[in-house]
Amino acid sequence: MARLTEIAGLNAFWGGVFVPTMGGLHEGHLELVRKAKDLGHPVVVSVFVNPDQFNDQDDYADYPRQFEADAAQAEAAGADLVWGPSNAVIYPQGEDVATPDLPRVATHPGLEDAHRPGHFAGVLRVVQRLFDLVRPEVAVFGEKDWQQLQVVQSMVDRDGGPRIHAMPTCREAEGLARSSRNERLSPLAKQRARAVYLALQAAGAANHPSTAERVMRETLESHDLEVEYAVVRSSVGLRSVDDFSRPSRALIAAWLDGVRLIDNLPMPVWT
Ligand code: PAF
């Protein structure tokens, strides 16, 4: 097991399985690390709070920074290397770290792209930079940020890169998706936040995407969540759908007590 903060020494870990994170590790991240161990060797976990992908500077400032604790947890879950580079290592002064062209799924769906302008440019810039430095065979991403997963997959399909391994969202007992931001909710707010999972489940029982969207919105609003979007889209490409004849996802973004919750669930395919 090793810990690094610089680029020097990373080459000893090239060709492995990579779990990129922004730290604040929770059970969801640790499941990714455990799965990574099954997929190959060595397992590299990065911990880097990427300033480029935050729209809200308070959110960036509040993001947990606890490298030693994160590294200890990642190691216990099986990481061979925990890499915690500084901003200067990722974005060195005088070096142009390019932003890859954004694929359609990063600009057109009107979901995270519309509500977090610039976010995916920041994500792809850092992900490409991390891939260039870590040079993994496989990279593991959670499904919770479904649009991010599609955006990264599209970039790799177009430009080449590691095989992307997607992992289902890790949930608390009552369905709330595990996330660093959800950790900021009070116990009472967590109870109300369950409405997100209830809404997604209700969507899966609807007989038409438009009904699913209405039911999700009603469920969220009845728990006093402020809805940004509650939609059903094609799983790949995130295009509008008229029926459930192909793989689709219900996707939600909603605010609760100043915390932005996002989640999604696959919808049944009707044959
Ligand atoms: O999903 C995340 O935690 C981040 O967006 C990622 C992929 C580590 C890039 O900063």
Note the pLDDT tens digit of each residue in 217-230. 999 999 999 999 99
Q: Cα separations (Å) of 188 from 52, 58, 195? A: 32, 23, 12
Domains of the chain, by residue range, sit at 2-167, 180-266
Cβ(20) – ligand 1 distance below 6 Å? yes
Alpha-carbon Rg for the chain, nearest whole angstrom, is: 19
Q: Which CATH class is domain 2-167?
A: alpha beta
Q: What is the pLDDT of residue 180?
A: 86
Note the pLDDT tens digit of each residue in 21-80. 999 999 999 999 999 999 999 999 999 999 999 999 998 998 999 999 999 999 999 999
Query: Which residue's alpha carbon is at the smallest distance from atom 3 of ligand 1?
Result: 21
Note the pLDDT tens digit of each residue in 156-165. 999 999 999 9
- Is the per-residue pLDDT at 184 higher than 90? no
CATH number of 180-266: 3.30.1300.10
User: pLDDT class for 146, splitting at 50, 70, 90?
Assistant: very high
Fold match, 2-167 / 180-266: no
**Pair of tokens at residue 121:** 């440019």
Ligand 1 pocket, mutate which of 52, 124, 145 (most atoms under 8 A from CB): 145
Residues designated as active site: 29
Cα separation, 216 vs 188, whole angstroms: 21
Q: What is the pLDDT of residue 1?
A: 79
- Is the per-residue pLDDT at 200 higher than 90? yes
Residue 252 near residue 263 (C-beta atoms within 8 A): yes
- Is the per-residue pLDDT at 182 higher than 90? no
Query: Which residue's alpha carbon is at the smallest distance from atom 1 of ligand 1?
Result: 21
Cα separation, 87 vs 17, whole angstroms: 23
Atom of ligand 1 nearest to the CA of 50: 10
Terminal alpha carbon distance of the chain: 49
Q: What is the pLDDT of residue 221?
A: 98
